[in-house]
Amino acid sequence: MSLLEIKNLHAGINGNDILKGINLEVNLGEVHAIMGPNGSGKSTLAGVIAGRNEYEIKLGQILYKNKDLSKMTPEERAREGIFLAFQYPVEIPGVTNLYFLKSAFNAIRKYRGLEEVDTLEFLSVVRNGAELVGLDESFLNRPVNEGFSGGEKKRNEVLQMAILQPTLSILDETDSGLDIDALKTIAEGVNKMHSDSNAIVIVTHYQRLLNYIMPDYVHVLIDGKIVKSGDKNLALVLEDKGYDWLKVQDAK
Amino acid sequence: MDEVKNILSNFIDREYKFGFYTEIEEETSPIGLNEEIIKWISAKKDEPEWILEWRLKAFRYWLSMKEPHWANVKYQPIDYQSIYYYSSPKRKERNGDSDGIDLELLRTYEKLGIPLQEREILAGVAVDAVFDSASVATTFKAKLKELGIIFCPISEAIRNYPDLVKQYLGSVVPANDNFFAALNSAVFSDGTFCYVPKGIKCPVELSTYFRINAAKLGQFERTLIIADEGAYVSYLEGCTAPMRDENQLHAAVVELVALDNAQIKYSTVQNWYPGDKEGRGGIYNFVTKRGKCLGKNSKISWTQIETGSAITWKYPSVLLIGDNSIGEFYSVAVVNNHQQADTGTKMIHLGNNTRSTIISKGISAGYGQNSYRGLVSIKKSAENARNFSRCDSLLIGNKCGAHTFPYIEVKNSTAKVEHEATTSKIGEDQIFYCQQRGLSIEDAVNMIVNGFCKEVIKNLPMEFAVEAQKLLGVSLEGSVG
C-alpha cells in the first residue's frame, strides 16, 4: 500500500482549472521533489493535499493510507500525520510560539489516544527541536511568526515539523528567502527527521535545496500536469536547461 | 471557502449559560417613577432623611435632563414609566454573614458558580451578592473588619457609616453628571461600599456579583470604593441576567476615590444577557464609572471584559488630580449577533507628571457594532503629563462594524500623547494554519481571539483571568462549527 496515491486529480479555484490530471504515488521512506515554473500548480497541489478549502476537487482521487482525503477536514488530515510547511507562514499576534506548538502537539496526541503533556514536559521536546533547526530558545516566547524574519519563519516551520513528527511532510517553497547557511541547517534538520517510517514531498522552483536533501524522485509540473518524472539527475538537467524544452515537448 | 465564511460570519446559536430564572417571592415597588416611588424605596431601605433629600434632588435634576443620543448605538425609546424600580427577595432579617439566606438564592448563586455559604466560599475572594435591588449576602465581612476594612452593601453603609458616605457619595460622579447618573442617584438600590483604611493592603479580592432576576425590573446599583492613604484594594464585579424577550435597563454608578499613595484596581466581567440572535431582548447597560486620583502618587486601574448586554454605554474614567498619579484603562469588548457597544474611557490630567495608559480591544462578529470612544484631556495645570493609547479592532465576518472615536485635548505644551490604532480580520489563512497543525476551527478562533486580548486579560486577577478566557470561548461558541 502506498502512503499517498493521487489518481487523475483535477482541481481548481473559483472555477479556474489549475491541476489537470495529476498522478503521483509516494511510499514510506521516499523523498519526492516537485519542480516547475511559476503558476504551474505546485502550491495548489500542496494546498489540495492539506485541505485548504478554497480549492475544489473536480475529478480524481487522493488516497492517504488508503483513505479518501477529500472526506477529511484539514485538522483530521494533520492529526493523521500530514504536515504542510507553509510558503508564507501566518502570524498569530499575542499567541506565543510555545503555546501554539503545545496546543498542536496535544491536539494530535489526543486524537491518537495518547496522554496530553504539560508545559514542562513539552519544553524538553521543543528544546531538542529548536536545536535541530538552529533557533534560539528565546523565540519560543515570541508571538507565532510575528516580527520573525523570513528565515526565522521557515525555520519555525521545520521546527514544527520536528515536533509534530508527521508521516507525510510537504515542504512548500521552504527554500525561498533563505541564505545558504540557513538552507544548510534546515536541510540537515529535515534529513535527520527523515526515516523509513515517513515520506517527504519537496515543492520548489530551484534545484539548490536538492543539493542538500537528496530526492529519490523528481517530477516536473507544468500547466497542471506532471510532464516528466525521473531521479535526482533530472533536477540537474532542469537547472541546466530550464523548463522551456519540456513546455515545447508538452505542446506537441 | 464558503464553509469557513459561513462559520465566521454567522455567530449563531451562541449559548447564554446564565439565562435561567429563579422562582422566588419578591417584594416589588409599584411600576413607574415619581417622587412617591422614591420615598417608597427610601422607606423600604429604612434610610435617614438626608439620603431621601439627596435622591429627590437628583430626581428633579433628572426631570430636567434629556436622554443622551450621541453614542453610536440605536435602540427603541425607553419608557421610564413601564419599569419597576425596586424589587427584592422576601427574607428573614439578615444578621452576620450567610445566615438567613433563602435556600433558593443559595442554589441560584451556586448555579452561577458563586458559593455563598461560609464553608464553601471562594478562597481569597470576598463576595457581596446583589440580587435584583438588594444585597443578599456578604462573605468575609467579619475577617475584613479586623483590619478595619469596611465591605458591606451601600444601604448598610448609609445607616452605619453616614460620615464617610456623606463625604464621598456623589463626589466623583455628581447627581447631575448625566441623565443616567441622575436617574441612578434618584433610585439607586444596592451596590457595594468599601473603605480601606490608611496603610492597609486588602489581603483578599473583593467582589460583587450582580444578578437581575425579576422581569421588567431596572437595576440601579451604586458602588463606592475609597482607598485611604497608602491603601490597596483589588475589586471585581460580575453580572448576569435571565433570557427575556424584552429589554431591561441597568444604569449603575461606580465611584472610586484614591488618596495619597493609594491604589485601586477595579475589574469587571460583564456578561449580562445579550439578547437572542435576532436582537430581541437583552440588557441596556448604561453605566457611569469614574475614579478620582485625589492624592499624590495614587493609581486607579480599570480592567473590563464586556461580552454581554444588548447595548453597552460606558466609559470608566480617571480624574488625575494628585501629582504623579496614574490612570489605566484595559478593555475587551465583544459584540456578536445584534449587540452594540459604545465604550471607552476619559483620562483627565490635572496634576503634574500624571500618566495614563489606554489599551482597548474590540471584537465584532455577526451584525455587532463596536465603538471605542475615548477622551484624553491634558489641562493647563498638568506639567509633563503622559498618555499612551492603543485601540485595536478585530472583525469576524463581513456584516459587523468597528468604529474608533478618539478625542485628544492638550492645553499644556509639555504633554506627550501617543495614539495607535489597528483593525484586522480573523483571516481564513490564520484558521487554516492552525487547522493544518491539528487544531479544530473552534480552538483556532479561541486561540486567535485570546491572543488578541492577551494584553488586557493579563491585568485581571489570576483566577478571573481563567474565567475571562473561558467566557471569550463561550462567546464564540456556535460561531465555529
Distance of CA B400 to the CA centre of its chain: 23
Q: Flag whether residue A251 sits within 8 Å of chain B, measured between CB atoms.
A: no
Indicate which of A90, A111, A169 best probes the interface with B, i.e. most B CBs within 10 Å of its own CB. Answer: A90
Output B286 or B207, whichever has higher pLDDT: B286
Stretch B37-65: mean pLDDT: 93
Chain B within 8 Å of A54 (Cβ-Cβ)?
yes
Report whether B368 contacts B338 (CB < 8 A): yes
pLDDT in tens, B346-383: 999 999 999 999 999 998 888 889 999 999 999 999 99
For chains A and B, CB pairs below 8 A equal: 78
Q: In whole angstroms, give the CA distance from residue A76 to residue A71.
A: 10
What are phi and psi for residue B61, nearest 5 degrees? -60, -50
**Higher pLDDT, residue B430 or B134:** B430
> Would you tell me which residues 132-151 of chain A have a C-beta closer than 8 angstroms to some C-beta of chain B?
143
Q: Where is pLDDT greater, at B467 or B31?
A: B31
> Which residues 174-233 of A are in CB contact (within 8 Å) with B?
none
Which residues have C-beta within 8 Å of that of residue A48, sequence separation ≥ 6?
A9, A11, A19, A55, A57, A62
Q: Which residues pair with A24 in a beta bridge?
A: A6
pLDDT above 90: residue B149: yes
User: Which pLDDT band, with edges at 50, 70 and 90, does A132 fall under?
Assistant: confident
Q: What is the ipTM of this complex?
A: 0.95
The pLDDT assigned to B205 comes to: 83
CB contact under 8 A, B433 and A90: yes
Q: Between B291 and A147, whose confidence is greater?
A: B291
pLDDT at residue B129, rounded to an integer: 76
For B457, nearest residue in chain A (alpha carbons): A94
Task: Write out chain A residues lying below 8 Å of B451, CB-based.
Answer: 92-95, 143
Taking any CB pair shorter than 8 Å as contact, residues of chain B touching chain A are 1, 3-4, 427-430, 432-441, 443, 447-448, 450-455
Report the residue from A50, A91, A143 with minimal CB separation from B436.
Answer: A50
pLDDT above 80: residue A127:
yes
pLDDT of A219 > 60? The answer is yes
- Kindly tell me if the per-residue pLDDT of B408 is higher than 60: yes
Average pLDDT over residues A181-189: 89
Mode of pairing for the β-strands spanning B232-240 and B263-270: parallel
Cβ of A92 within 8 Å of Cβ of B448? The answer is yes
A contact residues 60-79, partner B, Cβ 8 Å cutoff: 73-75, 77-79
Q: Which residues of A touch B430 (CB under 8 A)?
A: 90-92
Q: How high is the mean pLDDT of chain A? A: 90
The better pLDDT of the pair B243, B352 is held by B352
Burial string for A220-242 (b: 16+ CB within 10 Å, else e) reads bbbbbbbbbeeebebbebbeeee
Ramachandran region of residue B119, left (φ > 0), alpha (ψ -120 to 50) or beta? alpha
Contact B271, B242 (CB under 8 A): no
C-alpha pair distances (Å), B268 with each of B32, B264, B317: 30, 13, 14
Identify the band that residue B247 occupies on the pLDDT scale cut at 50, 70 and 90: confident
Q: Rounded to whole angstroms, what are the CA distances from B57 to B46, B65, B186, B302?
A: 18, 13, 8, 30
Assign B118 a pLDDT band (cuts: 50, 70, 90).
low
Cross-chain residue pair B435–A111, CB shorter than 8 Å: no
Which set of grid coordinates corresponds to residue B119? Answer: 464553608
Length of chain B: 481
Q: How confident is the model at residue B6 (pLDDT cuts 50, 70, 90)?
A: very low
State whether B436 and A160 contact (CB < 8 Å): no
pLDDT of A117 > 80? The answer is yes
Please give the share of chain A, as a percent, with pLDDT higher than 90: 64
- The b/e string for A50-63 (b: 16+ C-beta within 10 A; e otherwise) is bbbbebbeeebebb
pLDDT tens-digit profile of B10-19?
333 346 767 7
Residue B340 has pLDDT above 80, yes or no: yes
Q: How many Cα atoms sit within 13 Å of B218 on the Cβ side?
A: 30
**pLDDT mean over A106-125:** 91
CA distance B201 to A69: 61
What percent of chain A is helix, strand and coil (3-state, nearest 5)?
40, 30, 30
Query: Does B214 have pLDDT greater than 80?
Result: no
E-assigned strands of B271-415?
Answer: 282-293, 299-306, 311-314, 317-320, 326-335, 340-349, 355-364, 369-378, 386-395, 401-410
Q: CB contact, 8 Å: A160 with chain B?
A: yes
If you average pLDDT over residues B106-117, what whole number do you get? 70
Which residue of B435, B459, B469 is the best one to mutate when testing the A interface, meaning the one whose CB has the most A CBs within 10 A? B435
CB contacts, 8 Å: A90 with chain B: 427, 429-430, 432-433
Q: What pLDDT is recorded for position B475?
A: 61
Does B206 score more than 80 pLDDT? yes
Q: What is the pLDDT of residue B481?
A: 29
Does the beta-carbon distance from A95 to B1 stay under 8 Å?
no
Section B264-291 average pLDDT = 87
| pLDDT above 90 (res B309) | no
First-to-final CA distance of chain B: 14
Q: Provide the pLDDT for residue B468.
A: 73
Q: What percent of chain B has pLDDT over 70?
A: 88
Q: A67-76, A151-160, B129-138, B338-347: which has the minimum mean pLDDT?
A: B129-138
Contact yes or no for A53 and B3 at CB 8 A: yes
Q: Which residues of A77-95 are buried (b: 16+ CB within 10 A; e: fewer)?
A: bbbbbbbbbbbebbbbbbb
A53 to chain B: which residues are within 8 Å by CB? 1, 3-4, 432
Q: Answer whether A52 sits within 8 Å of B432, measured CB to CB.
A: yes
d(CA B16, CA B25): 25
Return the residue in A49, A53, A73 with the most chain B beta carbons within 10 A, the one to mutate for interface testing.
Answer: A53
pTM across the whole model: 0.82
Contacts of B448 in chain A (CB under 8 A): 92, 95
pLDDT at A249: 57
Residue type at B252?
A: A
* pLDDT reading at B92 higher than 60: no
What the block records as the C-alpha cell of B33 is 417613577
Tens digits of per-residue pLDDT, A27-75?
999 999 999 988 899 999 999 999 998 899 999 999 999 999 999 999 9
**pLDDT tier, A164 (very low <50, low <70, confident <90, very high otherwise):** very high
Q: Using alpha carbons only, give the angle B354, B315, A94 rounded to the nearest 5 degrees.
A: 80
Measured CA to CA, the distance from residue B348 to residue B335 in angstroms comes to: 28
What domains can you pick out in chain A, each with its CATH number? Answer: 30-51+77-251 (3.40.50.300)
Distance from CA of A157 to the nearest CA of B (A): 10
